[in-house]
A and B are shown apart, each in its own frame.
Chain A
Amino acid sequence: MNDTLAHPLVRAYLTSVEERTTALPDVRRQELLADLREHIEVALADSDTFDENSVRRVLDQLGTPGEIAAAALAEEPGNHPVPESSRHTSVTLCLIVMALPAALIPVIGPFLALAATVAALVRLWKSPQWVRREKRQATLLVLSPVVTVPALAVVLSVALGGLTPITLMTALLAAMCLPVAAAIRLGRSAARLRQQLR
């Protein structure tokens, strides 16, 4: 009866559940997918016909992949992101975005940049609204300028003939892309969570 699981609708459905349950422990995730596979096979064996319509009906009764993922995540103890106020979130995201430009301020700039980065990371890791995976990714992106700024400065100075304040500034601004991307992703995820629990 493996042909039922090979049906494109079924494959797309199971893939979607799999993609939405990355936050689950692996054992739990495999178990859920095995349960759903079994259900689909049995439900189709129980139905009198096997065609597009019966596949659709079985999947409709199962519910959307999003609903199932939410139910599975809700069963997991201590795995619930809790939303924070949008103001608290904004401060964290501002620190992430402003840390690098702050380095341009004369004399105290580098200290400000360091302080903002440390503050942003402490707030990020203390926050209950992002899962560990999101925090790890964001941390890498926030710290990326340590590598990208010198690398870009070298490339630009070779291309433009010498290290001038302008090349350094350009390198800094270009390196901002990754922390900004981190802030956008964190902001979206936080907004989704607030929306869900409204």
Chain B
Amino acid sequence: MVDGYASIPGADGRVASQLRKGVLEYCVLALLRDGPRYGVELLAELARVEVMATSQGTIYPLLSRLRRTGLADTHLRESESGPPRRYYTLTDAGRSALEEFTANWPSFRAAVDHFLTPGETT
């Protein structure tokens, strides 16, 4: 559990799921920024942040789209215990998509904060 995100009421409600829709794929790309991760590990990492915690299986269609659109790549790697693991890596296209999002996010966040803060828009 990450401090500060611990329990926001309605983290599994409609608002939370609408918010997640736009940013989830960039959070996944960000998790791959520092090196390859295998699916189960990637989803566990995502689930550690309650706001992003969604049923893990619902991320697989998203991962499939990232593979298809060339933002992420996968390769199988043998494991000491159990079956081989499918590792996800960030492609160059994925890296630039993440950079673009990272550049846009602060002004987007500031804009939303601006509208939400009482007395800011009068």
**Count of chain A residues near B, Cβ 8 A:** 26
Q: Which residues of A contact B62 (CB under 8 A)?
A: 71, 75
* Smallest Cβ-Cβ distance to A21: which chain B residue: B61
**Residue B65 CB within 8 A of the other chain:** yes
Interface size class of B (residues with CB under 8 A): 20 to 34
Closest residue of chain B to A62 (Cβ to Cβ) is: B57
Asked whether A75 and B61 contact (CB < 8 A) given A39-B56, A64-B55, the answer is yes
Mark interface residues in A16-50 (1 if CB within 8 Å of B CB, else 0): 01000000000010011001101101111110000
A17 to B61, CA, bound (A): 13
Chain B residues whose CB sits within 8 angstroms of the CB of A38 once the complex forms: 39, 83, 86
By secondary structure, the B interface counts as: helix
User: B26 contacts the other chain (Cβ, under 8 Å)?
Assistant: no
Q: Given the interface contacts A63-B55, A63-B56, A67-B58, does A42 sit within 8 Å of B40 by beta carbon?
A: yes
Q: How far is the CB of B36 from chain A (nearest CB, A)?
A: 14
**Residues in A whose Cβ lies below 8 Å from that of B38:** 42
List, in ascending order, chain B residues with CB within 8 A of A39's CB. 39-40, 43, 56-57, 60
Contact with B along A62-73 (1 / 0, CB 8 A): 111001101110
Residue A196 interfacial (CB < 8 Å):
no
Residue of A with least CB distance to B41: A46
Residues of B with C-beta under 8 A to A46: 40, 81-82
Residue A85 interfacial (CB < 8 Å): no
The A-contacting residues of B in range 34-69, CB under 8 angstroms, are 38-40, 43, 47, 54-65
Q: What's the least CB distance linking B63 to chain A, in Å?
A: 7
**Residue from A41, A45, A61, A68 in contact with B60 in the complex, judged by beta carbons closer than 8 Å:** A68
Q: B33 contacts which chain A residues (CB < 8 A)?
A: none
Given contacts A42-B82, A45-B82, contact A75 B64 (CB under 8 A): yes
Q: Give me the 5 closest cross-chain CB pairs, A-B, nearest first.
A: A63-B55, A45-B82, A71-B58, A62-B57, A68-B57
Chain A residues with CB under 8 Å of chain B are: 1, 17, 28, 31-32, 35-36, 38-39, 41-46, 61-64, 67-68, 70-72, 74-75
Selected A-B contacts with CB under 8 Å, 15 pairs: A32-B64, A35-B63, A36-B57, A38-B86, A39-B43, A39-B56, A42-B39, A45-B82, A61-B56, A62-B57, A63-B57, A67-B55, A68-B61, A71-B59, A71-B61
